[in-house]
Amino acid sequence: MRILVTGATGTLGGAVLPALVKAGHQVRALSRTRRESRGNVEWAWGDLISDGGVRDAVRNVEVVVHLATSGRKGRGAADVPGTRMLLTAARAAGVSHLLFTSVVGADRAPVGYLKDKLAAEGLVAESGLGWTVLRATPFHQWLDRRLADFLASPALPVDRSLPWQPVHTGEVAARVAALLAAGPSGSVLEFGGPEVVGMEDLVRTWQCAHGRNRPRLPLRFPGRLYAAQRAGALLTEATPKGRITWHDYLFPPPPELSDDFAMEHTASPTSPATQPEHDPDLRVYGGDEGYQRPTRG
């Protein structure tokens, strides 16, 4: 399939692009920075906020994977007006399937950026296109960076009442690829990590992985969104779930090598192991410059 990916330079986009390439799709990636197409991904310039380049980017594609988001501080510009603009262009181009990624709990806690996500879900469902919405729990990678934001502080704030269900972006990307292969579902699906972790354990494991021994400061985070999280509104029991735990993300187990691994991957002069510059997975992703970087909540 010919697929356009918005939000291609963001955290999830960096996992979705190689997953789609591996599945054999022709991938076009939307970026607000003009990029040279190389490897197995065609880069297209476009901006969902200003509408620049979007109609050209969606031309001659069969499927759109809409990952772009304004995030917590972006006031919904990419999520609501940007989604509406993208849907108009997709209808005009004859797109057969649009998959939109959202956030678990958007329907149960429509507060702040989750309210924007829910509004965008409604636009997708009413668009007249074949559609699928995939809600995910917070990414391992996002939590990792968010905790790192507090390294300059004398202590790490910890709300022991908050449950987290982090999921790996690679597994979300694999789920996206599987849903595209299945075709439009016309439904909202959820995908979460394999376990629910209390914030005290989550932060302690992170500190151990990064060699940080900073004190943990018990706090109760204010606001309606944290109240909803405290009540479990941002968790999901949906299956399938991811398999990579928070601990496994931070302490990845060594890869299991087959008996003939040396012959297949090391000794071969044409293997990506000996010619990394020819490995498509190392060439499809150009950076992390999504519409909104995670910031301190």
The verdict on residue 262 lying in a domain is no
| pLDDT reported for residue 70 | 78
The verdict on residue 8 lying in a domain is yes
| pLDDT reported for residue 159 | 97
How buried is 58 (Cβ within 10 angstroms: 0-12 exposed, 13-18 middle, 19+ buried)? buried
Q: Residue 212: left (phi > 0), alpha (psi -120 to 50), or beta?
A: beta
The verdict on residue 149 lying in a domain is yes
| pLDDT reported for residue 294 | 35
> The pTM is what?
0.84
* Residue 187 belongs to domain with CATH number: 3.40.50.720
Residue 40 lies in domain:
2-253
The verdict on residue 20 lying in a domain is yes
Q: What is the mean pLDDT of each run of 10 residues along the chain (297 residues)?
A: 96 96 96 83 91 92 94 67 95 98 96 94 98 98 95 92 98 98 98 98 96 92 96 98 98 73 41 37 34 37
Please, which residues have CB within 8 angstroms of residue 52's CB and are 6 or more apart in sequence? 45, 46
The verdict on residue 258 lying in a domain is no
The verdict on residue 295 lying in a domain is no
Closest by Cα among 81, 17, 4, 16 to 46: 4
- Cα separation of 203 and 214, whole Å? 10
The verdict on residue 178 lying in a domain is yes
Please report where in the chains the tokens 């151990």 appear, as a residue. 208
Hey, which bits of 92-236 come out as E strands? Answer: 97-103, 131-136, 156-158, 163-164, 188-191, 197-198, 216-218
- Cα separation of 108 and 188, whole Å? 13
The verdict on residue 150 lying in a domain is yes
- Cα separation of 218 and 216, whole Å? 6
* Both structure tokens of 62: 């069969």
> How many domains does the structure of the chain reveal?
1
